[in-house]
Structure formats: C-alpha cells, structure tokens
A and B are shown apart, each in its own frame.
Chain A
Amino acid sequence: MAARLEFDRISKRFGSKLALDSLCLRVEPGEILGFLGPNGAGKTTAIHLALGFLKASAGSGTLLGSPLGTASARARLGYLPDAPAFFASSTAFQVELAARLNGMRSSEIKGRVRQLLSRLGVESVKDARKLSRGMQQRLGLARALVNEPELLILDEPTSALDPSAVSQVRELLLAARNAGHSIFFSSHQLSEVEQVCDRIAFLNHGRLVKLGSLSELLHDQALAEVVVRGVTAGQLDGLFAEVLPGGQLRILIPQARQREVIERIWMAGGELISTAPRRRTLEQLFAEWSREL
C-alpha cells in the first residue's frame, strides 16, 4: 500500500547549514508515527517540506500520492502547527474557512464544525485571536480535523493543554488511527508519544538516528533483565546486581549469557523470578540518542 507521506533522501540546506540530511521516512496508512528529536534537530523543517512551505535542496517526496507541494493533495491533509495563528474572526468561522478552502460541501460544513467544536470543548468567541493558548490549540486541532483528513500532521499538539484536554486529544488520535487515518506526530511530551505512537523516528542534527516500532526500541534486545531471590550479590561475582526491596536482586546481563547466568543462580541456591529483555523509558532513549552523532 502506498505511504501517506514519504521522504526519499530529502535534504534541506539553509545557506551553509544542512538542516536535513538525506531523510528517508514513510508514514504508513493507519499508523501513528512519533517524530522526536532535540530542538533544532530538523523536525519542523521536515514538516514544512511535507507541507510544501519549503522546497527541498535535494531528494524528493510524496504526500498522499502526489509530489510534495501539490495543493490538491492537501485537501486530504490536516495540519496543526506548534503555535496556530488565526484571522480576526469567530472560532466557528476559522474552522469553516478551512473546510471551504479544502472544497467541502456547504451542506456538510455547519454540522461538522458544530460537532468538532463541541467535542473539543472550544469556547465560542467573536475573535479567535483572543483565546487562551490552550484553547487556540484546541481550535487549531478542530481546524485540522474538519476535512476528516487521511493524514494528520501535528507539531506539538498537546504542549499547551491541560491534563483533561491531553487525554481528550489522545482519545481523538487513537480513534482517528483506528478509523484508518495516519498521524505524523512531533512532540517533546514523551509520555504522550509512548502512549499513542506505533513507531518512532528520532532525528538529530538533521539525520535520522533511529526508526522502529515503539516496543522494539524500548526493549533492548542486547541486554536481559533477570530478577532473582535467595542469593546475595557476593555470590554473583562479576555481575552487576541491584538490590530490590524484599531481598530480590535485579541483574543486567547480555542476552547471550542469560542461560549461563541462570544456571549459576540455581547452582548457588537462588530462585529465578523473571527474565525479560531490558526495558528502557523513552526519556532514557531520548537522552542516549541525543548524544549520538
């Protein structure tokens, strides 16, 4: 099946600075792809290339089957920028304008706008610019969703939201994914990313450092975490062990040595409680990947 968004060795240079270096990335139908990276990594540059705001210095890409920058393809796209900007009009009109610009039929616009604004709890005001930052973000999301897009590009969608709104947005994104829509999601809210994303792409200094499914990346296939009881750290000479409450020990060992270590524990009279690939938090991975390159 064709990717909803594809970057094919795309690069972007601003003067002498290479902001994006041969990025290859695909957003597949029905997936939520988390796009992570430290500030200045090139995430917004990649998003702006996808939307046609910037022109690639090298490489190419497609958005919903058309070359990047094709206006008609954007009728099936929803975009929420990190800081949404609005015209001096009412909240409902902002969403209505997006619907009209995407060629939606007049008969379906009013109902859809009303439904979205109430679902996202957007205040009704005459001038949307006067809304609080969090409310503007909700309104921006309503604008992005009005045309029932096949692909949603979200740049920090929950950065200004309160916890209840964050959970609403999470539900909305999951519902959109379950309905077959794809979501390309840039965020620094790692807990959010961990809860909603199927795959993660990590960018640093304009280069793609990691790409994979969330579970694959969080579980370190090279190291195993073994929890035992009935032995002391002294009996496990040469192995790093952390003492847990209740006298249990947590030992980190290379996967290849797992069998040998478990046998040693049994020989010493210990009892094996669990063994699993080491699980790290996204925060740990973020810090680790940010140091790469």
Chain B
Amino acid sequence: MKKSMLIARQLLWQNRWLFALLMLWPYLMGVLLVASGSQLDPEDLLAILHQECIYALALVAVTASTQLGNEQRSRRIATVLAEAVSRGEYLAALWLTAVVPLLLFLAGFAITGSALAVYAGSSAGGVLFMALLVTVVGLWAAAASLLWSIFLPAVFASIAAITSVGLVILAGDYGVPGPGRLMMETLRTGFVVPRRLTVGGDVILSIASAAVIFAAAWWLFDRRDLNLTAE
C-alpha cells in the first residue's frame, strides 16, 4: 500500500491544476449562490446539491478510466513497473488517484452544502448523508471505471465507464440493489436525514462489489501486455 500511495502522490501532483480546479467547484458554486444576494430557495439548493453528487461520480469515472491509457501513452508506466512494483500495487495507485480527488470534492461539497443549507434555513444533516452515500458509490465507480481502462483506450474507456455507471443507476431506479439504488437514494435525500435508514445492505453490497471488480481488474491486468505505444 505504501508503494501505491507513493505512485498515487506522483500521479496526483502530475494533474494538480486540473484536480485543484475541480476541487474548487463546490466552493465556487457556494460563493456564487451567496453573492447573488437573493433569498436562497431550499428546493433550488437541493437540486444544485443533487447535481453536484452526479458531477462527483462523473469526476471519479473519468479520472479512473483515463489514467492507465495516459500513463501508457507517456510511458511513465514503464518507469514505475520496471521497479519492484506489482501490477496490483500499480492498479491500486490508479484507484487512489481517482478516489482522492473524489474525497476532496465531496469534502468541499459537504462544507459548502452544509453552510448553504443552514443559510437557507434548513438542516445540514441531509447534505452530510448525501456526501457519505456518494463516497460509497464513488468507490465502486472508481473500480468499475478502472476495469474498462484495462481493455479500452482512454477516450472509449471513459465513455464506457460513464455509460455503465449510468446504467447501474438506472437499474437502481428499478429497485436493483447495490450502488445504483444507493445513488437513487442519494438523489431522493432532502435536508433531513431519513429517520429509518434502509441503505445498509446497499452500502455493503457496493463496497463488496467494488472489491470484487477491483480483484477482477487486477487479475486481468496481471495477464495483459502493457501497450507502450498505445493510442
């Protein structure tokens, strides 16, 4: 894990400006809403917060699905995998590179969302609950997107990742348990945390399926050639 964190740190630093810009988005949105000076309608605010939850998922899916292709194209992957780093450790580094910006984005979402909710005269509990649920769905989305990047070039992998995340959410709307239903629960959450929590099973299923998908990605990546002239 130490090696994965070392590599992830390099990859994050490599794209620091892009990630910093994305991290600032929730804060920027908060400032714009407050600076508009008009009375903040809680319904409008809730719609904006739900949108930000979807942005968070899109961010993690695109980041996770494009990293491997980019690293192969730049040949930096050869620099790392020529050292005592296993394919699994490398894949874990890519997963971390997608998850860390997600967590920072959601931290910004939780901070500004809570402040705006209080500013609009509502409770902040629901915002924190949403952030927690999106974190779990994001962990799953990162693993699923990483799996696509093993087979497809970066552009196609990100399209496949976003499509598959979208389809799972659609399945969740039809009651299929797992990350999709968890995301639908997020989009139904208001400013108040539901009294009766029914998401426990979906949380466990999402984390377990993320682990299984990651293990499958590792198994496959371990058996494939690197494409050092990719794309």
Contact = CB atoms under 8 A, between A and B. Distances in A.
A77 B82 CA distance: 8
A54 B227 CA distance: 9
Given A48-B228, A101-B80, A88 B6 contact: no
A16 B136 CA distance: 44
Interface stretch (A67-75, A117-125, A226-234, A251-259): A67-75
A86 B84 contact: no
A102 B6 CA distance: 12
Interface string B78-114: 1111111111010000000000000000000000000
Nearest to B79: A85
A101 B3 contact: yes
B224 interface: yes
Interface in A57-100: 71-75, 77, 79, 81, 83-89, 97-98, 100
Interface string A142-169: 0100000000000000000000000000
A93 to B, nearest CB: 9
B14 A53 contact: no
B75 interface: yes
A86 B76 contact: yes
A75 B85 CA distance: 8
Interface residues of A, number: 28
B80 to A, nearest CB: 7
A100 B6 contact: yes
A51 interface: yes
B40 to A, nearest CB: 40
A35 B14 CA distance: 35
B74 A85 contact: yes
B19 to A, nearest CB: 13
B231 to A, nearest CB: 15
Contacts of B84: 71-75, 101-103
Contacts of A29: none
Given A53-B81, A102-B84, A85 B223 contact: no
B75 A88 contact: no
B44 interface: no
A87 B13 contact: yes
B83 A98 contact: yes
A55 B225 contact: yes
Given A55-B225, A74-B84, A84 B13 contact: no
B223 A81 contact: no
A52 interface: yes
B226 interface: yes
Interface string B189-231: 0000000000000000000000000000000000111101000
Contacts of B86: 71
B10 interface: yes
B79 A86 contact: yes
Nearest to A55: B225
A79 B79 CA distance: 8
Nearest to A94: B79
A135 to B, nearest CB: 16
Contacts of B89: 71
Contact of B83 (A48, A53, A74, A89): A74
B226 to A, nearest CB: 4
Contacts of A100: 3, 6
A188 B90 CA distance: 32
Contacts of B82: 51, 74, 77, 79, 81
Given A48-B228, A53-B78, A87 B10 contact: yes
A268 B15 CA distance: 82
A102 B7 CA distance: 12
Given A53-B81, A86-B79, A102-B84, A97 B6 contact: yes
B39 to A, nearest CB: 45
A75 B83 contact: yes
A51 B79 CA distance: 11
Interface string A101-113: 1110000000000
Nearest to B223: A55
A53 B80 contact: no
B147 to A, nearest CB: 19
A54 B83 contact: no
5 contacts: A48-B226, A75-B84, A85-B78, A85-B79, A100-B6
Minimum-distance CB pairs A-B, first 5: A75-B84, A101-B83, A71-B86, A79-B82, A85-B75
Interface of A: 48, 51-55, 71-75, 77, 79, 81, 83-89, 97-98, 100-103, 143
Given A55-B225, A87-B14, A88-B13, 12 more contacts: A48-B226, A51-B78, A51-B82, A53-B225, A53-B226, A55-B224, A71-B84, A86-B79, A87-B76, A87-B79, A101-B85, A143-B79
